Amino acid sequence: MAPEVRGTWLDKKDKDEILVTSLVVCSKRLIAAIVAIRSFSIIALCRPGAAAWSVRVHEVCRLFSDMVILQGKIYALDRTAMPGYLVAIDIVDEYDIEPRVSRIECLIKGISFPRQEEFFWVPYLLEFHGTLLMVCKKLSYKIEHESGNFSIIFVAAGSGFVVFEANLKRHLWAEMKTLENDQALFLGRGCSRAVHVSPYDLSRDCIFFLDDFTGYWKKTTTACELYDMKDEKIYSPLPMVSRKSGNVPAIWIFSQGEIDKAANSRRGGM
């Protein structure tokens, strides 16, 4: 089957279900989101209370994944070119006109991972102590055919992780072997966060991640697992659950207290 042409938002907006895959609150008067149709996506903007989102309908769709805001600027991963392709998104935000994307600038051209059969890389972007982290989940899989038809289902078989820190001055990703003794990461599509923990806590230097695969992925029976960067092993910290979620992945929900502690920790380290 020939690959689908990217096209513009006007070409695709009526073809399939529209999903919001990542959302950030830029200010009290501006919200930005990655809006996707299948794997193709575009940046949408709106003001709180507005009746509609603003998009550049004639812009060619990209393959945006996660998006974060850092020191007032929006950053996103764009899988159109290669894994780790980091872009900065400039927005014109004036009181008397609709907000709009004015420029998308490439900051890091990505990482060339060695090609391996039966492995798939899933990138996550998050803010970490005033800088950006990209966490790549290395997912092994096998392919099954559903009984009774010819649909292909990908079955997750295990994971590993590689963590990179953005060096914006040198325009490259630098691999990190540790998060330090007072940090843990929670990964999820559109809901990733770094959390301050006690240096004596067993969750230090660990990555908690969700079963957030959708589409052609066969659902597993676990909602949450833990990757320990100290010994590079995966553990199941919570009892396994069985759920039928369709195309709706699980997400992390953080209390306001945890959000405030993370913000104070970031300010203290800057």
Q: How confident is the model over 241-254, as pLDDT tens digits?
A: 555 555 556 778 88
Q: How confident is the model over 166-222, as pLDDT tens digits?
A: 999 999 999 999 998 889 999 988 889 999 888 878 788 999 987 766 554 554 445
Gap between the Cα atoms of 171 and 106, Å rounded = 9
Gap between the Cα atoms of 231 and 132, Å rounded = 24
Gap between the Cα atoms of 241 and 218, Å rounded = 15
Each domain of the chain, given as residue ranges in start order, spans 1-110, 113-270
Query: Between 134 and 142, whose confidence is greater?
Result: 134
Q: In what order do the strands lie in the sheet with 30-37?
A: 18-27, 30-37, 40-46
Give the pLDDT of residue 65. Answer: 84
What average pLDDT does this structure show over 3-8? 51
Q: How confident is the model over 60-119, as pLDDT tens digits?
A: 778 888 899 998 899 999 987 778 899 999 998 887 788 889 899 999 998 877 666 667
Gap between the Cα atoms of 185 and 225, Å rounded = 12
Are the C-beta atoms of residues 211 and 250 closer than 8 Å to each other?
yes
What average pLDDT does this structure show over 3-13? 55
User: How many beta carbons lie within 10 A of that of residue 213, not counting itself?
Assistant: 20
Gap between the Cα atoms of 248 and 235, Å rounded = 24
What average pLDDT does this structure show over 108-136? 84
Q: How confident is the model over 216-243, as pLDDT tens digits?
A: 455 444 567 889 999 988 888 766 655 5
Residue 11 pLDDT > 70: no
